Structure 1
């Protein structure tokens, strides 16, 4: 056996018959292993789709881009989802899973407030989502939260037509509010609202009520306050009209 320098595995001289004897396995350099791709699953597809939607919006999500991001072929992708609409439906239901479902309390109005606040927050975190909520909503996360909403309304005395109307009012309100806020935040520069307010103030003779009410004055009425007051109004109506038919 030859003597090696410190830190260098020794080599072994030829044994009988001239065959070289390999060093012990512990001293051998292990061959590098090729990086294995994680398996393509529906969960990975949806997670990646949500990321792309957050970054590029609905128009920026294509099946080709999704396949590239996943480092797979389009053919492999189509084994799991057939169309972009499939991906969008799955993505919407995935983010609805982020909406907390509160525990049932003795205060059905507060239960709805907690649910709806979380719903709005999720919509604002994913600005593409409000545009898709009008699609058929049959995912388990969406249905679980709609079930909670309606069950709370039933506890408040809403049944039949009144239940359907109250559900529609609350859903339209939170989606519309989130869509308006998300669109404004995405497209408007920081000075746009101030300029809009200045325009109304500069034309107070033509728009006296708008001027007096502080319309578009974000410093006077911020989005959170307006949302909460609007929600209170809808729930007050539901509480007053909620009674068995």
Structure 2
């Protein structure tokens, strides 16, 4: 029990194996394995996640890609959870923030972040599900969160409203990207045609959906852009009302 408490304390209270534990664990000296590094392991993991997704990922497969034995990886990444957290933060580095984002109009920064986050999640569909279930506590993710929080703070949001607003920004993107990624795993055209036929056939049960069928089944890009713009405009209107 004492050893367990010591380990938990060394992780900042996060137990080994818990989501995000890698970010709170005290750095340990690891035996060097020739040709291996955490960076190479993470890059290989991202590539395999892009090809096969989270469920198929294993340290054994990553080791095979690297031409190494699985036990060699444990000196750099003790658990699969560590690999997932590190890979997720690695792809967050792809999110570009606009030049001068620390002083630019907050709406531009927030919209740019939303578009960049969505593009990244669609390039790496596995990241969409992980982003909603694991702490975004890595340096790349925190840097992007800092930018969004700073922009919203400049707008005048504070306290619980600031946190809720930042969550709304990220959650809108994660939810829409997750939905699009889920559809993409199937034969999307066939699924959309089947749904169109179902609603048309049962239009008496779903009259509003039937009347707006093409909009209901509209393209992802248009729907996302409208949703993002609507959210930011609503936030701006809220600030105007509060300041009046």
Instruction: Assess same fold via TM > 0.5.
Output: yes
| Superposition map of 1:89-108 within 5 A | 89-103=85-99, 104=101, 106-108=104-106
Q: 2:54 aligns with which of 53, 58, 64?
A: 58
Which residue does 2:177 correspond to in 1? 178
The higher radius of gyration belongs to 1
Does the 8 A contact of 1:162 with 1:241 survive in 2? no
Within 5 A, what are the aligned runs for 1:46-125?
Answer: 46-103=42-99, 104=101, 106-125=104-123
Report the equivalent of 2:147. Answer: 148
Displacement of 1:139: 0.5
Distance 2:119 2:172 in 1: 13
In the other structure, the counterpart of 1:235 is 232
Q: For the residues of structure 2 that align with 1:217 and 1:167, how far apart are their CA atoms?
A: 27
| Aligned counterparts of 2:215 and 2:195: Cα–Cα separation in 1 | 7
Q: Over aligned residue pairs, what C-alpha RMSD do you find? A: 1.7
SS at match of 2:36: coil
Q: What is the TM-score with the length of structure 1 in the denominator? A: 0.80
Aligned length: 206
Deviation at 1:216, TM superposition (A): 6.8
Indicate conservation of the 8 Å contact 1:197/1:216, yes or no.
no
Q: C-alpha separation between the residues in 1 aligned to 2:119 and 2:188?
A: 21
Relative to structure 2, which stretch is displaced further, 129-138 or 185-194?
185-194
> Which residue of structure 1 aligns with residue 159 of structure 2?
160
The runs of 5 or more residues in structure 1 that have no matched partner are: 1-36
